Amino acid sequence: MDVQLLFFRNFGVENMSFIRIKNLVHQFHMKDANGEITEIYNAIDDVSMQIEEGQLIAILGRNGSGKSTLARHLNNLLFPDEGAIWIDDIKIRQEDEENVWNNRKKIGMVFQNPDNQIIGTTVEEDTAFGPENIGLESERIKKLVSDALTAVNMEHKKNISPNHLSGGQKQKVAVAGILALKPKCIVLDEATSMLDPHSRKELLKLVMELNKKEKITIIMITHNMEEVTSADKIFVMNKGKLLSQGSSSEIFNNSEIIKEAGLEIPEIMELAIKMHNKNPEFKTGLFTVMEFANEFERVYNDKRKQE
């Protein structure tokens, strides 16, 4: 293959990502009491990233690092001050309503607070809100709603008022509302952070299933490292910039990045890293005592067999 063709080929592949963000800048204007701008603050500061369809993505970063601002760009709730975003190779254009609307249908958002996302008086009505809003006919809506509620295992609660649901169940209904619009991607912005540990696990399990079975691209935004061990790729944000990107083991084994990003390493993981430093065969990225114990046994038994 000649060099030129090779170049175009690679160039083409690189530009075919599901989501492509290029040199994105988002500014907030700080104003004094008279409304005069006192400071222009780059909440997103020259960020570029690419996300492929079907990936399970994590965006990690401490509070204020710019994660939610970035998420709002994906869902067209905010628009770039500089740079650009392409979804399915189509550039987001604020001035083009149809373009914005089509992108919103592709990427659904689940926010932090379960109580701020419920609109309907019953679970079913709430889930139907999206499809009704885009004017689908009622039989189609019924089917979409029923499928979505089944997917999140909330079909049996369809006639219940969302007020009677737990936080975790409300988040599942929020996911159902998105699923009813047949999205390509779901962005969860700290969606588990107000949930109890059990509901948190349930919601994580649900989104992982949606990723595996329905091939929906998932973008998990969190400051909690424990939630993103199974991500295909992790982006680390710090002070509005993309500090690092890589596989979970690349990121989790990079203690400098973790420190700089101000992320808290779970104790078991720290211990696993210490073991790994003594014996490279010992895996890192372990999060539970059980995982650690299993790995310890594996390495120990392997060693014994060799002796």
Ligand X SMILES: Nc1ncnc2c1ncn2[C@@H]1O[C@H](COP(=O)(O)OP(=O)(O)O)[C@@H](O)[C@H]1O
Q: Which amino acid is present at 55?
A: Q
CA dist 172 and 261 (Å) reads 30
Residue 217 β-bridge partners: 185
- With beta carbons less than 8 A apart as the criterion, state whether 170 and 126 touch: no
Residue 245 β-bridge partners: 235
Nearest to 224 by CA among 245, 194, 244, 254: 194
Give me the phi and psi of 42, to 5 degrees please.
Answer: -85, 95
Binding site for ligand X (CB under 6 A): 28, 43, 61, 63-69
Q: How far is the CB of 288 from ligand X (least distance, A)?
A: 27
Q: How far is the CB of 218 from ligand X (least distance, A)?
A: 18
Distance from chain centroid for Cα 1: 38
Q: How far is the CB of 204 from Mg ion (least distance, A)?
A: 18
Q: Please choose which of Mg ion, ligand X, none residue 61 contacts, taking the beta carbon within 5 to 8 angstroms, the exact cut-off set by kind.
A: ligand X
SS (H, E, C) 35-81: CCEEEEEEEEEEEEEEECCCCEEEEECCCCCCHHHHHHHHCCCCCCC
78-99 CB burial, b ≥16 within 10 A, e <16: bebeebebbbeeeebeeeeeeb
Indicate if the alpha-carbon torsion angle 199, 205, 206, 211 is positive or negative: positive
Q: Is the Cβ of residue 113 or residue 249 nearer to Mg ion in the bound state?
A: 113
CB closest to Mg ion, residue no: 68
Q: Is the Cβ of residue 104 or residue 223 nearer to Mg ion in the bound state?
A: 223
Q: How far is the CB of 306 from Mg ion (least distance, A)?
A: 48
Residue 35 exposed, middle or buried by CB count within 10 Å (0-12, 13-18, 19+) = exposed
Span from 48-56, 64-72, 114-122, 197-205 in contact with Mg ion (CB under 5 A): 64-72
Q: Is the Cβ of residue 65 or residue 229 nearer to Mg ion in the bound state?
A: 65
Sheet of 90-91, strand order: 37-51, 19-31, 82-87, 90-91
Asked if residue 192 binds Mg ion (CB under 5 A), the reply is no
Q: Please choose which of ligand X, Mg ion, none residue 106 contacts, taking the beta carbon within 5 to 8 angstroms, the exact cut-off set by kind.
A: none
Q: Is the Cβ of residue 127 or residue 222 nearer to Mg ion in the bound state?
A: 222
Q: Please choose which of Mg ion, ligand X, none residue 65 contacts, taking the beta carbon within 5 to 8 angstroms, the exact cut-off set by kind.
A: ligand X
Span from 31-39, 60-68, 101-109, 291-299 in contact with Mg ion (CB under 5 A): 60-68
**55, 68, 76, 117: which one contacts Mg ion (CB under 5 A)?**
68
Q: Is the Cβ of residue 71 or residue 144 nearer to Mg ion in the bound state?
A: 71
Q: How far is the CB of 240 from ligand X (least distance, A)?
A: 7
Q: Is the Cβ of residue 117 or residue 253 nearer to Mg ion in the bound state?
A: 117
Q: Is the Cβ of residue 68 or residue 192 nearer to Mg ion in the bound state?
A: 68
Q: How far is the CB of 183 from Mg ion (least distance, A)?
A: 20
The site for Mg ion, by CB under 5 A, has a size of: 2
Q: How far is the CB of 7 from ligand X (least distance, A)?
A: 37
Q: Which residues bind Mg ion (CB under 5 A)?
A: 67-68
